Amino acid sequence: MKHVIILPTLTLLLAIALLPCVATAQQAKPTATQDISLSTFGGVSGVYTGLVGSRNLSATLGIDLALSPWQGLRPILEVRATDPIDRGVVVSQREVLGGLRLDLLLGSRLHPYGDFLFGRGQMNYTGTPCNAPGQFGYVFGSKCYQVTTSYVYSPGAGFDFDLSTHVAIKVDGQYQIWDGPTASGKIHPAIATIGLVYHIGWLGMP
């Protein structure tokens, strides 16, 4: 399990490593009176499903509502969805999550963050022939699973790096906990995402 737990940690360490590179790359930011902003993001995700080495290539889309800064942090309400582009050889997973993200305010182009998301997910199993002819799923014990649904708990970390006033690069990592057909009753996927952010603007401001 260590190889999936370290994914968000490595993402955050990469953000910290970039700090010297952006310390002098200051750009004008809205003032503290411009408290609430809206942004969207999309990217390509590599999903390690946590089940017999299965992997998916997926697309992730999301929206963020940034709130007033507090003690050097900016709380952000986030909703995101991930859906497979390829179905994998064992299982593919899709999910819709929402939760709280906290950005560390550095006054630079780099915006590292940590988050905790929660929602629902579905796993579709396709890798093993089931007992019935023409049906495929995932055999565990005496049962052949074709679809399972689960609550999803997803702590993570990442960073956005501003390219301009409205566009940024996103690098994001999530470690997840699902219910599933294993001896422990749990599956631990990990997701790494790289994509683009578009800052729509500061709400109520010109």
Write out the two tokens for 25: 């790359």
25-84 per-position pLDDT tens digit: 334 444 443 578 999 999 999 999 999 888 999 999 999 999 988 888 999 999 999 999
Question: Residue 86: pLDDT above 60?
Answer: yes
CA distance 23 to 172: 21
Domains of the chain, CATH where assigned: 2-20+40-202 (2.40.160.20)
CB 111 within 8 A of CB 27: no
pLDDT of residue 132: 67
For residue 39, which of 67, 18, 72 has the smallest C-alpha distance? 67
Beta bridge partners of 122: 94, 149
166-178 b/e with 16+ CB inside 10 Å = b? Answer: eebbbbbbbbbbb
**pTM greater than the 0.85 cutoff:** no
pLDDT, residue 63, reads 97
pLDDT tens, 131-180? 766 678 888 888 889 999 999 999 999 999 999 989 999 999 999 999 99
